[in-house]
Structure 1
Amino acid sequence: MYINRILLSAVLVVGALIAQVSVLARLQLPGAVPDLLLLVLLGLAMVYGHTAGAVTGFLAGLLADLAPPAEHAVGRYALVLCIIGYVAGLTKPESTQHRSATVPMLVVASAAVGSTLLYAGVGTLVGDTAAGQVGLLPLLFTATLYDLLLAPFVVPLIMWAARRTERGVITSDASGVGSMGRSDKGAYGWLSSGTGLQVGGSLFGKGRNGSTVRNARNGKAIRMGIQRGSLLDRSSRKGRTGKIKGVKRL
């Protein structure tokens, strides 16, 4: 059931990392580099939820830490993306998808700012002051701008692909419910075959003139029950009268 999720997430994360390292990092843009890996993570987290978002973010960040151009400590970006994926997954709706693009775009903007601040904060803890030398405000502005410009072309496609895997899970659940409904009907079918009772059906129906018409099987069963009841009543009455007559004879 979750194999489709794992395969899709792995393909998207690896593809985004390769595109970011080989293409986006070589554009020589001022300030930050467009974070395609972050956008892929956000698209997956907003569909799969916070747990999958945290796990995917940690693994994606770990791959980014191990990528050849990386010059920072291993696990630094994994921690950042794990937190970002968890928080972004909390915005997943309970039963339906996002009705507008406002919430995803706000998530992208918040994630761009949050990931930059977390990355700089963790770097300060481990003794990396490169972000302070470049300037934190220009990094925040350019990272948010680049991610917002790239998000409309990336995030909807990622969310659409993730929902395709979710539809497979829903249809399998729906088929399981349907089969359970059929098995329940077979298990309780004895109620409708000999006692005049139906499960989920009606005993009486309306005829053309508005009068109630009984079902044929149920009518026979009820008439048989009535006849049995009348016979038992008659036998009990005879027994009672016999006892009373015997008392009178004494």
Structure 2
Amino acid sequence: MRLNRTLLSVALVVVALVIQVSVLARLHLPGAVPDLVLLTVLALALVYGHVGGALVGFGAGLLSDLAPPADHAAGRYALVLCVVGYLAGLARPENGRLKSATGPMAVVAVAAIGSTLLYAGVGALVGDTAARHVGLTGLLVSATVYDLLLAPFVVPGLMALARRADNDPLAETGSGVKAADVSAGWLSSGTGLRIGGQRGGLKARAAKARVARAGRIKGVKRL
């Protein structure tokens, strides 16, 4: 990932994690907790693509695993968000811009269900049966509803911010100036299209020399 993407992703994930732990986790809502970190990963994955989404998801999940009050094995949520970020990045449009809210909302719903199931599945493999005691169906429904309600206030703004940071006009201007310098140097160094002009000039001068030489020879013969 480029430097501006990395810095923006780290800043957004840290802010989302702080709000998640200090505010959303203390609301004591029935069922699951609104997952602001998941929505941040989804928003960035829809702009950066599957590779960037996987990297952001792994970093965000690892921070969530280490942030207190974490009560599960480190790396568990990192694996979940890495997979979710990768799959969400596959839904990224070619131009990076979404024409309607239907696509992102569908991605959020599928990600909320998929991340809950994958988290519960990984927990079952390591012997954590908390999801079974709480009720997996209630977690799925509540997680999907909460994330869908929170998504319109989070995902569009983060996507716009990521696109704006990704399209740096200074970088584009610099690259244009660099290209112009390279093309100017290409021509001034006697290569490229200038070669054709030089060759044409040499051929024209050689032809003139042959005509002049032929004229001098004919003049001698006439004498």
Please classify the TM superposition score into its range, dividing by the shorter chain length: 0.7 to 0.9
Q: In 2, Cα distance between the equivalents of 1:242 and 1:153?
A: 95
Equivalent residue for 2:26?
26
Alignment-mate amino acid for residue 88 of structure 1: A
Name 1:151's counterpart in structure 2. 151
Question: Residues 113-124 of structure 1: matches in 2 within 5 Å?
Answer: 113-124=113-124
In the TM superposition, 1:153-232 aligns within 5 A as: 153-168=153-168, 171-189=170-188, 197=197, 229-230=207-208, 232=210
Moved more, 176-185 or 10-19: 176-185
Distance 1:237 1:187 in 2: 40
| TM superposition shift of 1:131 | 0.9
- SS of aligned partner of 2:167: helix
Deviation string 1:135-180 (CA, Å, 9 cap, x unpaired) is 2121111111110100000011111111121011x64145324422
Amino acid at match of 1:183: V
Shift in CA distance, 56/191, structure 1 to aligned 2, threshold 3 Å: closer
The alpha-carbon distance between structure 1 residues 238 and 159, as it changes in their structure 2 partners (threshold 3 A), is: same
State the TM-score, normalizing by the size of structure 1: 0.76
User: 2:17 is matched with which residue?
Assistant: 17
Q: Which residue of 2 aligns with 1:98?
A: 98
Q: Tell me how far 1:227 sits from its aligned partner.
A: 8.1
Higher alpha-carbon deviation: 70-79 or 112-121? 70-79
User: Which protein has the bigger helix share?
Assistant: 2
Two-structure CA RMSD over aligned residues (Å): 3.2
Give the structure 1 partner of residue 39 of structure 2. Answer: 39
Mapped partners of 1:76, 1:195: distance in 2: 62
Partner of 1:127: 127
Local SS of the residue matching 1:49 = helix
Q: Which deviations, in whole Å up to 9, do the C-alpha atoms of 1:69-105 show, x marking residues without a partner?
A: 2211111111101111111122223334222222211
Q: What is the CA–CA distance in structure 1 between the aligned matches of 2:161 and 2:207, rounded to whole Å?
A: 65
In the alignment, which residue of structure 2 is the partner of 1:205? none
Counterparts of 1:110 and 1:196, CA distance in 2: 60
Give % identity. Answer: 55
Indicate the residue corresponding to 1:76 in structure 2: 76
Gaps of 5+ in 2: none
Looking at both structures, which has the greater relative contact order when contacts are Cα pairs under 8 Å and sequence separation is at least 6? 2
- Give the structure with higher Rg (CA): 1
Q: TM-score, normalised by structure 2?
A: 0.84
- For 1:164 and 1:149, locate their aligned partners in 2 and report how far apart those are by CA, in whole Å: 25
Q: Answer yes or no: is the 8 Å Cα contact 1:191–1:197 preserved in 2.
A: no
Secondary structure of 2:128's aligned partner: coil
Equivalenced residue count is: 220
Contact 2:47 2:96 in 1 (8 A): no
Contact residue 46 and residue 92 of structure 1 kept, 8 A:
yes
Determine the C-alpha separation between the residues in 2 that align with 1:5 and 1:195: 42
C-alpha distance in structure 2 between counterparts of 1:95 and 1:241, whole Å: 73
Counterpart CA distance in 2 for 1:11 and 1:195 is 52
1:61 lines up with 2:61 in the alignment = yes
Q: Return the alpha-carbon distance in structure 2 between the equivalents of residues 227 and 64 of structure 1.
A: 76
State the partner residue of 1:218: none
CA deviation vs aligned residue, 1:200-230 (integer Å, no higher than 9, x gap): xxxxxxxxxxxxxxxxxxxxx98x9868735
Distance 1:241 1:163, change over 3 A: same
Alignment partners' CA distance in 2, 1:229 and 1:18: 80
Q: Distance in 1 between matches of 2:49 and 2:164?
A: 15
